[in-house]
Amino acid sequence: MPTTSRAYTFQSTGLYHSYSELSDWAYGLQAQEPNLVRVIEYGTTTSGRALLAVNITVDPPADDPAKPEFLFTAGVHAREVITSEVARTLAETLVSGYQSGDPVYVDMLSERDVWIVPDHNPDGRIAVEAGRSDQRKNDHLYPLQTPAHYSCGVDLNRNYPHKWNYASSSVRSETYRGPSVLSEPESSSLWALLHDESKFSNLLAAIDYHSGASMIISPWMSKSEFAGDPLPAEDRQKLDFLAERMSEESGYPVTRLTYDLYGTLTDSLYEEFGTYAFCEEVFKGPFIDYFTYFNPVDAETRDAAIENGVNSALFLLSDEAFDVPEPSVLALLTMGTATLLRRRRKTGHC
């Protein structure tokens, strides 16, 4: 890992939005375009901070079950603040494209239901904002952990259902899985939202944004599971096609990991819902300090990483990725024919 020196911090760079600013921005976007944007508070953290999802689609309160949903999550790991800027810019790109009357965005948001989580880990982010640039976990203190220390909390990307029991049980580990599956309010609240069939009935594709590398990964993320438990051929072919095209749009290579990890959001989305889910790592810096390793510290590099991540999302939302029927056809789809766009799984928790 990088050294613990603090040459750069969240505050010293001045390049990133705080949790408070992200919250104000989300509600401001909703006020600006109430017929296109709504903000859902889907839970609260251990410290009582709101967990927000930004839903972008034509007439979001209608909750049209025929529209396929697309999910984009950021800030799962607190120190990876660049990912929240990707999510924020994606939302603004969609809204401004629709406002301009661009037929690509008008059709996209008429036919698709987009959900963006700009900061999945507010408590951890607050620690990073205060100068604890090494904070990865959610800052939920457990026995044997040290307060105000990088060991504090649970790694939210090891707390999700897929093979959770294989993840680290060491409470001081940076990848501590938590005392039970979905033990954390951040993960359990998002999982509950995704199972709310008044809002999610067809979760077609997703990107979980991270930093600390530059790559695109699809299920299964673990080296041994990918080799030992191949996906159905149809799924593998579709995931590989999407990943390669995302790579062309973003410049990030499609990669297989050389180690094992379990309890991830990406694998859990695929297992539970049949979602074409990806983990996209948008930046890796030099080994100078924690903040510099996970986040750009100049505006040009930051903006390039943001653009790359947004480009992947825009491809995933395109007709080339998924030929979503027009609204008039969507209205006629039954739950049976809607499954042509996805294969929802209910395999239980490993």
CATH number where 265 lies: 3.40.630.10
Per-residue model confidence as pLDDT tens digits over 13-36: 999 999 999 999 999 999 999 999
**Could you tell me how many residues make up the chain?**
350
Q: Residue 350 falls within a domain, yes or no? A: no
Distance of CA 252 to the CA centre of its chain: 17
pLDDT exceeds 80 at position 278: yes
The reported pLDDT for the residue numbered 343 is 46
Q: What is the pLDDT of residue 152?
A: 97
pLDDT of 4: 46
Confidence of residue 61 (pLDDT cuts 50, 70, 90): confident
For 117, other C-beta atoms within 10 Å of its C-beta total 25
Instruction: Kindly tell me if the per-residue pLDDT of 3 is higher than 50.
Output: no
% pLDDT > 70, the chain = 91
71-127: pLDDT as tens digits: 999 999 999 999 999 999 999 999 999 999 999 999 999 999 999 999 999 999 999
Domain interval for residue 334: 10-140+184-341
Give the Cα-Cα-Cα angle 263, 189, 73 (nearest 5 degrees). 65
Position 178 pLDDT exceeds 80: yes
Q: Is residue 177 part of a domain?
A: no
Q: For residues 72 and 114, is the Cβ–Cβ distance under 8 A?
A: yes
The secondary structure of residue 56, as a DSSP letter, is E
Hey, is 36 helix, strand or coil? coil
The pLDDT tens digits of the residues spanning 279-292 come to: 999 999 998 999 99
Instruction: Tell me how many degrees the CA angle 60-189-132 measures, rounded to the nearest 5.
Output: 110
**Domain for residue 319, yes or no?**
yes
Rounded to whole angstroms, the Cα distance separating 219 from 130 reads: 35
The answer to whether residue 84 is domain-embedded is: yes
| The pLDDT value given to residue 22 | 98
Q: What is the pLDDT of residue 339?
A: 39
Burial of 227 (0-12, 13-18, 19+ CB in 10 A): exposed
Which pLDDT score, from 0 to 100, does residue 214 have? Answer: 97
pLDDT score at 330:
47
pLDDT at 325: 61
User: CA 246 to CA 240: how far, in whole Å?
Assistant: 10
Mean pLDDT over 34-45 rounds to 98
Residues 6+ apart with CB under 8 A from 200: 69, 115, 193, 194
Q: How many structural domains is the chain composed of?
A: 1
Q: Is residue 81 part of a domain?
A: yes
pLDDT digits (tens, 9 = 90+) for 194-208: 999 999 999 999 999
- CA–CA separation, 327 vs 337, rounded Å? 15
- What is the pLDDT, as a whole number, of residue 251? 97
Give a yes or no: residue 150 inside a domain. Answer: no
Mean pLDDT of the chain: 92
**Does 161 reside within a domain?**
no
CB 126 within 8 A of CB 10: no
Q: Which residues pair with 202 in a beta bridge?
A: none
Q: CA angle, corner 92, sides to 86 and 96, nearest 5?
A: 145
For residues 203 and 190, is the Cβ–Cβ distance under 8 A?
Answer: no
> Does residue 269 form part of some domain?
yes
pLDDT of residue 334: 38
The confidence score (pLDDT) of residue 65 equals 85
